[in-house]
Amino acid sequence: MTSEASLYPQVCRFLERRRWRVAVEVPPRKGSPRRYDVVGVKPRKREAVIVEVKLHDFRRALLQTEDRLFVGDYVYVAFPTPYAQVVLESHLDELDETGIGLLGLDGGVKELLPPLRSIYVNPERRSSLFEIVLGRGRR
């Protein structure tokens, strides 16, 4: 059985190829019990990307990723490719409306829908995320 965490390395490689500095299971604030699955930052551009990885359950993933729009400049939800294709066909309007991107995972990563830049980012929350990611390094 595949776990969400077993899919993180694919997402990390995808982001690293795009020159993001990556960390996994990042708390949104120091001491928070919740975690962002995969986070990438570009220090010079002051940009952050957050990827929520799920095996299925689009509704749950959408609720989690909508919250990430207040922290990350770009937000993706990632699913195994067969389920991601279903999501793309069934929920494209919701993804377009929120600006959340979609990744398909199958040993590699397929960007099925690029995210839009979030207009909701709170600069203080993003800065806190930068501190955590840059202080931890990858994995």
Amino acid at residue number 19: R
CA-CA distance, 47 to 99, in Å (whole number)?
A: 16
pTM of the model: 0.93
pLDDT value of position 37? 96
| Cα dist from 15 to 51, 60, 97, 103, whole Å | 10, 23, 24, 11
pLDDT value of position 65? 92
Element (H, E) at 73: none
Domain ranges of the chain: 4-136
Tokens 């993003």 correspond to what residue?
A: 126
Range 4-136 classified under CATH 3.40.1350: yes
pLDDT value of position 2? 80
Q: Name beta bridge partners: 21.
A: 41
DSSP E strands, 1-139 = 21-26, 36-42, 47-53, 74-80, 101-105, 109-113
pLDDT value of position 138? 47
Joined together, the tokens standing for residue 48 give: 């952050």
Per-residue pLDDT of the chain (139 residues; tens, 9 = 90+): 589 999 999 999 999 999 999 999 998 777 677 899 999 999 999 999 999 999 999 999 999 999 999 999 999 999 999 999 999 999 999 999 999 999 999 999 999 999 999 999 999 999 988 988 888 644 4
Question: How is residue 106 annotated by DSSP?
Answer: S
Please say whether the beta carbons of 77 and 52 come within 8 A.
yes
pLDDT value of position 1? 58
Amino acid at residue number 11: V
3-state secondary structure of 88: helix
Q: What Rg do the C-alpha atoms of the chain give, in angstroms? A: 14
Q: What is the pLDDT of residues 18-39, one digit of tens each?
A: 999 999 999 877 767 789 999 9
pLDDT value of position 139? 44
